[in-house]
Structure 1
């Protein structure tokens, strides 16, 4: 509701109170006292941390900053900002007094920017705190780092150390140098060169074993040096010979980025000093490196083990930020997770020219992850104009390489140079609706548990696959062999063949073609190009052939599947055998696939043409929504399905879908149609709510769901779609009906005495008393009220809830006039409702939030036992006293001032979309026909609103197609469904279409049409 968003603005006009000086001073002292309590609490916490680390000097610096900046500058800036937004200091004083009089001191506290818990703070929940772009210019001559600087260098090639000495002389402060070499001769060379360093206060050169490249000496030999210094620079004499020649450009690029002159170094430390939680800084990825170098490649296995030791889950991460080349500036605290592993040289493999797949290559990808795990952020450096440095987060990762053109065009452009073209199958030609394959098995696990009573099926299936590999001693096993082994692990009374058929049935039903790749394959087939399929897969060739034929993809000469061919792509054996098997040179073989390791790295290592990469939609989704993995409930298949459907819609071009703009450079999504907006933003929340609603209704034995107008227009369509898709034999569903109601019409019908008059006075209102009667109580003929109260009283402004006592008094003077109209309205409403409900156990369904309509209907309509809502606030608790229930899907009895529910924080979005083609209900005439308010802006643009509805229903339909009778399970996980709301309302997803339909009528609060995006834009500007 609009009233939930107004905060300070809900108190705008009122009479100045008596004893203004005394009361205003009291309020200001109260505000200032609360502010000091909060600041003292923060100060004590920091003092405790400082003493805990024995850094006493930080305590003094903190208190200086505390009193100089926080108390004086921040507090004054806050007062000025609030006063400006409130219309001046006198208006602000009035507001403070009335807030205190109506809500008490808690009302004032709720409006102060006090620090709250990360989960309870509405401004922090789902925040993308890691996303930052900051330009640092100038010479930053005033910067002076505290705590000491350690420069740690691995000089495997001592002849290159001289160029490093030149670069280190640009550091403008004293530092300690620690160098590791692999022999005594190199040690003497380095010691001699180090004498030319101008500011090296301490130099230490040690001979270390030739293991772990530059990583092992850094974390093993010089761990104590890292702990002893606040800041650490890690560099090494890099040659990068894996490409067949020395890559001097890469080394020079990294050294220049980190030590590119005194100005650059001061800019880096300026950022470190300004941001205490900045942990690591490094140059952007070298331009010649492929973007897929930012994936785990051969290092995932070691990465999972290392992540388990560090308590960092990498199972859902693919593209990661990392200082490729392992050179960076860091704050020592950010490196502690890796140092505390207490690694030794024996943990690293013996040196034999490995280019990937070792512990050192894995740790290189963990520097940023470890810093984030320790609570620190990172920045990636880019050169900017005027000798400035742009620090961005997340890094660009050279992703512009991938988004430079379409996949279809790349395939068709490269195919003429190849004698044969091979395609991977899953995530390349055919895609699943899940964010990851693990989500599919989690879903299958739940289905198996419900149908066969087997618990922990996903674990048992993996165990069976392991046993089958041992039994048959082959490179891979097929699904029949896996289920034969599974039969030995489950109860003999359950047939493993039934579970096998269930898995194949689900796999067949959920797959859909990736249009851009399939179109390219069909075009090549029309040209007569030789094409084969290559896949690491447990499904056999016969099943895959039938599956591909069902999607008109029976255009390939042969399927090479690992469980039948006896070799795998990810181990490289498949790529070694295929050329001879097809009698084609590696240089004439073009492969198209999605896996960066098995479809890109392995073929390149084997000498194939450069493959065409088809990035998974899930990986693109996480790249464009960097923090999604950190808050996603990763083990829940419900979350995986919702996000997977979003990812496929966003990043898989579809012939039937409207175009969605993808800016790979800035990683910005641009939604260009109302239908896509409905699918991406409204569809997930609608789907979760309907699943939750139908599940709760069955538990509560509700026979009829009354979808309240006008929000119920779309909800009733969703109800009908679910009935159409699900068979009554699969799941029992309550009936649904579109129920005409509004707060004003139901409130008028419920008026019986002074107490019931107050039902409609809780929400914010700003207008005249006559407007209050019209908008809140549907009084159309005001002449009797003017005759009784006078024209002046009718025109006098009234502000709710501030002037509630005056409103109650004036309404009480007209109770008989209102009651006369209420009796008529009540009788007509009962006639309408009883004919619809027909003695069935019913529940109201509405968007929420305080249950006002439900409270009003309790005394008017029989048969309603409760209400189901998107969100309920704590004001809805009072329905319990009426013998009914009120339940919220995304938030139940939340505190509206401390809400962490995006759907409630941006409630106007759903209020604008959930509307109907008719105006608001005013009541019923003598014949029982409904009377509506004149159409608003949304009704005049309802054709566009219907496009949004169609997109939302399409998302619901896609979810139903996947889960079928298990649909109600989608109601148990809410977080993923609200991500798009945040993305849109925080302008992470841009809207490139006419926003005119997205307005809200707010006559109930005395406002006219409100543009939701302009409203939230003004709100952001005020804060």
Structure 2
């Protein structure tokens, strides 16, 4: 009975459970008693006052909703709200004072995470210890408690002796103190653990570009600079960290664990004033409104606030991600958007590439690499044009593989024409049935099929005196005319007509076939296995190349397919690729029928989700229409037109490249770096930024799409 009551009051609604445990767990005394009354109040409010939001735990929501900017970039919004965040302004304000004091972390120095404690995940991976982050945070808190209790005991003893104590309780500890406590908790060697933590911090920390520009200007002006920080890391280590990241020329460094006084209680600023002189004009610059601004002012310093770059994470970033990759993604994006110098003025297209496409392409490339290595692929074919930016990033990440990556010309139209004899159904499906009742003239259809020379054989064609299965009396009344629109009434008749012209069609396509065969025979020479890489969605590109090599061209190479995502439940043909996915001939990164099925249901082509992703992989090159033979027998290429907004496409690509560069700077090479595990980016994590971007009926994504004049894909 008691358990049933507990389950009803606590476990029935996730939100009530979370709120109750947040107050109850680890509590003692009065707080523990009050937690039971709080539980009763939560249930009363939920059931009697109908405050049903109390029953919801936001962390259990399937999809997050964010209010993204749609009329300006995220950075433009930030700078409009903080007009003083400008290098010139900071230099001007800081240089007015005799001495300038800087905070370190989140001011001079960044970590590539949105939360400082996320760095402990990396330590845990190296030490192979379960819940290392939790234990490391516990050890720090317990070390602080031990420190404070020890001081309290000293004060009590002095009081008993009748001595007025000058001691004050503080919680300031060193990394040695923390790791001594860790050794007690975990049996890990304290010295080894401390050394690894310092090595990790040294490896991942980097200079804030904005503040570095300010700092360098002030040094050049000959200004006196000091460093003031609440930190458990030692003064010696912090000096090395600052030196490594280009910060030199400062006079002094004041660290809380050395003086056992902190900025948070203001007493560290008293030390600064005493050491430098009470009358010295000092200004302090930092990101924490309490420690760096409020307490500095109360203790006699002027201040200049530098907003924490992660302050807007809850507003704009996804949190429904794995904790390590999610923290890294948010940290890198926030550092870029809010920590760049004043000259950084990204377009909306650049932000779309960096914020919403960078993690996807970086993760996709790592996934491709691991798959190719596991399955022994000799050649990687990045199919045009979606493969353009993917190959650029892949070559950055894996430069040692440059000899086995190829940018391969291919397109839906080229594939459809070349597989005329291998998949007649797909040929007619793309050229005819996808164009029914869309106001295309039959002459235009023939032109798209490159069959203008057959026009005279089509014009006037009728089945009046013939019996054809599944074509009834109405169909036999149809007479084809070139200027007629393609409709559901004449499309079957046109197909019958073209079937009768198959030999002539084959002859029309002959030169294209010879050219394509020559092109791929050269590209795949000496290869036993190759991987064809595309965005999706049916995977027809890779399958077409595979079948042509095996069944028509006689190229002895087994071609496999890699796509970002498949057709979804919203497609008229949702299972097109299933047999290939099941057999392993095709592989999908983001989602498929067999994994991340919530994305399979979320991704709706009718709402332009295919287009949103394809905009990320746009290329500032002409569309590829097909292969041809030049008069001298060499291979030629037919190109179409450029897409609209080439500058925007270049900006999207630049954003994606810059994200990949920043990710590699943060975590090293995916081949040889110190944190190779950070490239295990799941498809679900890679899709998470787009889920946020799709908030409120895809308003943001539609705003991006409106910057490109998109034409329907006429195969």
Considering the TM-score relative to the shorter chain, is it more than 0.5?
yes
The more displaced of 780-789 and 851-860 is 780-789
**CA shift for structure 1 position 585:** 5.6
Q: Deviations for 1:925-974, whole angstroms, at most 9, x for unmatched residues?
A: 26351421332344xx6566334323321111111222233253124512
Hey, what does 1:613 align to over in structure 2? Answer: 305
Q: 1:471 to 1:632 in 2, by over 3 A?
A: closer
**CA shift for structure 1 position 826:** 4.1
Hey, what does 1:751 align to over in structure 2? Answer: 420
Hey, what does 1:714 align to over in structure 2? Answer: 389
Matched-pair contact (CA < 8 Å) for 1:903–1:981: no
1:460 aligns with 2:153: no
Hey, what does 2:614 align to over in structure 1? Answer: 911
Hey, what does 2:360 align to over in structure 1? Answer: 685
User: What is the correspondence of 1:6-155 to structure 2 with a 5 Å cutoff?
Assistant: none
CA distance in 1, matches of 2:606, 2:106: 32
Hey, what does 2:585 align to over in structure 1? Answer: 885
Query: Counterpart of 1:842 in 2: which secondary structure?
Result: strand
1:596 aligns with 2:289: yes
1:934 aligns with 2:613: no
Query: Counterpart of 1:887 in 2: which secondary structure?
Result: strand
Hey, what does 1:977 align to over in structure 2? Answer: 689
Matched-pair contact (CA < 8 Å) for 2:18–2:57: no
Query: Counterpart of 1:955 in 2: which secondary structure?
Result: helix
CA distance in 2, matches of 1:511, 1:804: 64
1:704 aligns with 2:408: no
**CA shift for structure 1 position 846:** 0.9
Hey, what does 1:922 align to over in structure 2? Answer: 626
Q: 1:414 to 1:807 in 2, by over 3 A?
A: same
Q: 1:1000 to 1:552 in 2, by over 3 A?
A: same
Q: 1:720 to 1:635 in 2, by over 3 A?
A: closer
Hey, what does 2:175 align to over in structure 1? Answer: 479
Which among 445, 467, 470 is matched to residue 772 of structure 1? Answer: 445
User: What is the correspondence of 1:96-495 to structure 2 with a 5 Å cutoff?
Assistant: 309-310=19-20, 340-342=38-40, 373=54, 403-406=82-85, 408=87, 411-412=90-91, 414-415=93-94, 418=97, 420-446=99-125, 448=126, 452-466=127-141, 468-469=143-144, 475-487=171-183
Hey, what does 1:654 align to over in structure 2? Answer: 341
Q: 1:442 to 1:602 in 2, by over 3 A?
A: same
Hey, what does 1:818 align to over in structure 2? Answer: 505
Q: 1:952 to 1:453 in 2, by over 3 A?
A: same
Q: 1:959 to 1:482 in 2, by over 3 A?
A: same
1:1004 aligns with 2:714: yes
Structure 1: segments with no counterpart, 5+ residues: 1-304, 314-336, 345-369, 378-398, 661-670, 1006-1023
Hey, what does 1:564 align to over in structure 2? Answer: 258
**CA shift for structure 1 position 594:** 0.9
Q: 1:827 to 1:433 in 2, by over 3 A?
A: same
CA distance in 2, matches of 1:885, 1:486: 49
CA distance in 2, matches of 1:503, 1:722: 26
Q: 1:839 to 1:904 in 2, by over 3 A?
A: farther
Query: Counterpart of 2:519 in 1: which secondary structure?
Result: helix
Query: Counterpart of 2:549 in 1: which secondary structure?
Result: coil
Query: Counterpart of 1:860 in 2: which secondary structure?
Result: helix
CA distance in 2, matches of 1:699, 1:645: 29
CA distance in 2, matches of 1:896, 1:535: 44
CA distance in 2, matches of 1:778, 1:491: 75
Q: Deviations for 1:799-828, whole angstroms, at most 9, x for unmatched residues?
A: 58x976455434323333323445554454
Hey, what does 1:380 align to over in structure 2? Answer: none
Q: 1:695 to 1:422 in 2, by over 3 A?
A: same
Query: Counterpart of 1:970 in 2: which secondary structure?
Result: coil
**CA shift for structure 1 position 906:** 3.6
Matched-pair contact (CA < 8 Å) for 1:603–1:611: yes
Hey, what does 2:326 align to over in structure 1? Answer: 639
Hey, what does 1:846 align to over in structure 2? Answer: 534
Structure 2: segments with no counterpart, 5+ residues: 1-14, 24-34, 43-50, 59-77, 151-169, 463-478, 551-556, 671-675
Matched-pair contact (CA < 8 Å) for 1:487–1:496: yes
CA distance in 2, matches of 1:764, 1:340: 63
Q: 1:807 to 1:879 in 2, by over 3 A?
A: farther
CA distance in 1, matches of 2:606, 2:386: 15
CA distance in 2, matches of 1:464, 1:897: 43
The more displaced of 631-640 and 899-908 is 899-908
Say what the alpha-carbon RMSD is for the aligned residues: 4.3
Matched-pair contact (CA < 8 Å) for 2:460–2:481: no
Q: 1:454 to 1:902 in 2, by over 3 A?
A: farther
Matched-pair contact (CA < 8 Å) for 1:902–1:978: no
Q: 1:525 to 1:879 in 2, by over 3 A?
A: closer
User: What is the correspondence of 1:721-740 to structure 2 with a 5 Å cutoff?
Assistant: 721-724=396-399, 735-740=404-409
Matched-pair contact (CA < 8 Å) for 1:475–1:562: no
Q: Deviations for 1:536-585, whole angstroms, at most 9, x for unmatched residues?
A: 11221122112222333213211111222222222444245443343326
Matched-pair contact (CA < 8 Å) for 2:95–2:218: no
Matched-pair contact (CA < 8 Å) for 2:229–2:256: yes
Matched-pair contact (CA < 8 Å) for 2:309–2:335: yes
| Higher RCO structure, 1 or 2 (CA under 8 Å, sep 6+) | 2
**CA shift for structure 1 position 424:** 0.8
Q: 1:803 to 1:905 in 2, by over 3 A?
A: farther
**CA shift for structure 1 position 707:** 0.9
**CA shift for structure 1 position 589:** 4.0
Q: 1:748 to 1:617 in 2, by over 3 A?
A: same
Matched-pair contact (CA < 8 Å) for 1:431–1:512: yes
CA distance in 2, matches of 1:826, 1:539: 67
Hey, what does 2:161 align to over in structure 1? Answer: none
User: What is the correspondence of 1:480-559 to structure 2 with a 5 Å cutoff?
Assistant: 480-487=176-183, 500-559=194-253
Q: 1:454 to 1:621 in 2, by over 3 A?
A: closer
Hey, what does 1:952 align to over in structure 2? Answer: 656
TM superposition score normalised by structure 1: 0.51
**CA shift for structure 1 position 510:** 3.2
CA distance in 1, matches of 2:322, 2:523: 43
CA distance in 1, matches of 2:689, 2:40: 42
- How many residues of Structure 1 are paired with residues of Structure 2 in the alignment? 596
Matched-pair contact (CA < 8 Å) for 1:698–1:734: no
Q: 1:892 to 1:533 in 2, by over 3 A?
A: same
TM superposition score normalised by structure 2: 0.71
Q: 1:836 to 1:876 in 2, by over 3 A?
A: farther
Hey, what does 2:47 align to over in structure 1? Answer: none
**CA shift for structure 1 position 722:** 1.0
Hey, what does 2:679 align to over in structure 1? Answer: 968
CA distance in 2, matches of 1:920, 1:593: 53
Hey, what does 2:166 align to over in structure 1? Answer: none
Query: Counterpart of 1:434 in 2: which secondary structure?
Result: coil
Which among 781, 792, 795 is matched to residue 483 of structure 2? Answer: 795
Q: 1:527 to 1:835 in 2, by over 3 A?
A: closer
**Higher strand residue share:** 1
Matched-pair contact (CA < 8 Å) for 2:542–2:559: no
CA distance in 2, matches of 1:880, 1:834: 28
